[in-house]
Each structure stands twice: as C-alpha cells, then as structure tokens.
Amino acid sequence: MKYLDEYRDGRIARALADEIAQVCAHPWVLMEICGGQTHTIMRYGLDDLLPKGIELVHGPGCPVCVTPLETIDKAIALAGRPDVTLVSYGDMLRVPGSNSDLLRAKAHGADIRIAYSPTEAVKIATRHPERKVVFLAIGFETTAPANAMAAYLAKQQGLDNFSMLVSHVLVPPAIRALLTSLENRVQGFIAPGHVCTVMGCEEYEALARDYRVPIVVGGFEPVDILQSVLMLVKQLESGEARLENQYVRSVSYRGNSLAQQVVAEVFEVADQKWRGIGMIPKSGLRLREKYSVHDANLVFDLHLITAEEPAECISAQVLQGLRKPMDCPAFGFRCTPENPLGAPMVSSEGACAAYYHYRRHVPAM
C-alpha cells in the first residue's frame, strides 16, 4: 500500500539503522513526543536496532495520559447524575480516576455512550432535548478542530442541553517546560506529525532556535522514526540545532488554515494542568466566553473537584522522559492494563501499555 508498505520495509529500516551507527560518535538522548510513535518503537523493536549510545525516551504526547485526574473525576460525577448523558471516546473509559473509572460507572447504570466523533454527541443532544448531554473533549491540537466544530454547531442550533468538559493541551508549551526543567536530559525531539498536520511547524522552529535544540517533525511508521533519528543525530554530531520536516507527505509549514480558524473561533489559550506533571502556563485551550453556555465546568459548577495522583505511580516521570515504565516497582505487578494505577497503562498510546503489550516486562509471579 502506497505510503505504508515502504515505510515498514525491513531492508530500508536496517539500512537507516546502519547509517545511524556510522554517523553517531557520541551518546545522545532523544525524545519522541507522540505515544503512537512510542508504540511503533516498542512494537518493531526499533530501540534494539539503534547503537547503544542512542537512548530513546518517551514524552507527554499521549492525550489520555495527560488528562488531569480531576477531569476524570468530574466526568464520573457528571455521569452519575440521572439527567446527564456523558459521551466520550472509548479509550477514556478505563482511565482511572481517584476511586473509579467511567467503565465501572457505566456498569452501575450511568448513561455513558461511546462516540467516534464529537458531532455524534451534538446529534444525541438534538434527538434527546430532555437530556443534558456532555461530551468529554480531550486531546492535543489534533482533535481540537473537531471538538471546536461540535461547540460551533451546538451554538448555531441553540442547543442549550449540550456542553463539553474540555481538557485540551498544546504540545509546544510542554516541550518548553521540559527544556527549562533542571532535570531535563533530552537533546533532540521527534515532534508529533499529526499535530503539525493541523498546526504547521512554525512554533517548533521557534523552539529549535530559542533553545538550540534540534527538532524533527516525524511520522509514525518504523522508517519514519528511524529517518527522524538519523536527521537528529546528524544535526547533533555537527553541532546544529534547527527544525526539519521528515513527515513531508502529510505536514506543511503552515498547516491546515481552515482547521486553525475554527479552533481560534471557539477556543482561547489558557493555563492547563497536566496529569501528574502539574500546571503548565498557556498550554491548554478553553472555550471562549461566547461559548460559555456549552462549558460543562460552568453549567454544572465543577470547579471544586480536585484530586491528586497515587503516590506509587511514576507516570509523571515517564511522561517527562526521566524514567522508563520498567523503573516502576508496580509495573506488571500491581499496575497492569486490567488494574492500572495510572493512565499510561491503559491508553492505546500510553508508554507503559506499549512496554507491557510488547513483552518488555517480567511476568508477575
């Protein structure tokens, strides 16, 4: 299949790995931001193909993983109301809250429905004016246009029974927070190609320039990632620090202007809490005041709900590239996909789930 088979070609992958070994003369720590890239690395054993001097660490690019714990608690509280229908993407149902998760709430009778698009939630609100329909709107810039369109349609149709519990995060401020941390180890970044498909590359160019760090916008197949690593290593070995675009088949410099326009119409930039990491300034999106009637936090007065991560879970350090999933004493024992302590173990893009599913763990005794 065009743009798929050739990016999974083992001969090309091994040739890239050999070239990386030839040009790599120093140890380097590289971070792939996206959880989808992490799963590709684990699934195909790409880290084993690389020379020992290259360490790949995993970033905060899993939207489910960084959704704040209190957002999950708020969603569970809303779902428990007899007049509310909560609509969510399916991968949020197993994410642990403080004391439960949405799947258990559904099993106990809560009206929770799985959708593949936020506009499905708008349709539910249209068909059921007697219900208060809440869509759990999470994600990075990738899902922001569709979520913005849902709010836009609800406003246009005057649907006062539709609202969104918004937890949107932005990648560039997270990279900036990592780079300014005293604990930072990362020397080069593989930026998330799907985010850049929407938003373009301009913000990443500024990060590369301001922090003197090479950044390569990368795709999600094995050859994409190995080519991105090669581009980063070549820059590092030559003392360069600039933005490059490996994912040229999908990403343009300016991105999708129409998608950006609908996001700007509905959302504004705001400070945002990241699960396990804490507050990162100007790293999220919230509904603009003219869309406040569709803001579930305001409709249901949810601001008083707060929560803290389990002390045993080290997901915050995993998401910042400071530790690997197997460094957690609970990994594969007290924390499994069936009984997770943190979101990275259950998300389809979580680093802990990637290590667990691709047999990078010792079976529990």
Query: Tens digit of pLDDT for each residue in 177-187?
Result: 999 999 999 99
**Angle, CA 139 vertex, CA 278 and CA 114 arms, to 5°:** 120
Q: Going by DSSP bridges, is the β-strand pair 84-88/132-139 parallel, antiparallel, or unpaired?
A: parallel
Q: pLDDT at position 342, please?
A: 87
Q: pLDDT at position 304, please?
A: 63
Segment 27-40, tens digit of pLDDT: 999 999 999 999 99
Q: For the chain, list the domains and their CATH numbers.
A: 5-56+175-193+201-245 (3.40.50.11750)
What's the CA gap between 63 and 65, in Å, rounded? 5
Helix (DSSP H) and strand (DSSP E) numbers for the chain: 16, 11
Q: Going by DSSP bridges, is the β-strand pair 215-218/243-245 parallel, antiparallel, or unpaired?
A: parallel
Q: pLDDT at position 214, please?
A: 98
What's the CA gap between 198 and 261, in Å, rounded? 11
Strand order in the sheet with 278-287: 112-114, 84-88, 132-139, 162-169, 278-287, 267-274
Exposed/middle/buried for residue 311 (C-beta within 10 Å: 0-12, 13-18, 19+):
exposed
Amino acid identity at 294:
H
Task: Dig out the tokens for 105 from the structure.
Answer: 């709430």
Q: Is the pLDDT of residue 365 over 50?
A: no
Segment 276-315, tens digit of pLDDT: 788 999 999 999 999 999 999 999 988 766 667 677 889 8
- In 35-143, DSSP assigns E strands to 54-61, 84-88, 112-114, 132-139
Q: Provide the terminal-to-terminal Cα distance of the chain, rounded to the nearest Å.
A: 43
Across residues 307-336, what is the average pLDDT? 87
Instruction: State whether residue 51 is helix, strand or coil.
Output: coil
Segment 191-214, tens digit of pLDDT: 999 999 999 999 999 999 999 999
Average pLDDT, the chain: 93
Q: pLDDT at position 306, please?
A: 67
- The more confidently predicted of residues 45 and 304 is 45
Task: Name 111's Cβ contacts closer than 8 Å, sequence gap at least 6.
Answer: 79, 84, 85, 86, 131
Q: Cβ distance 209 to 179 under 8 Å?
A: no
pTM: 0.92
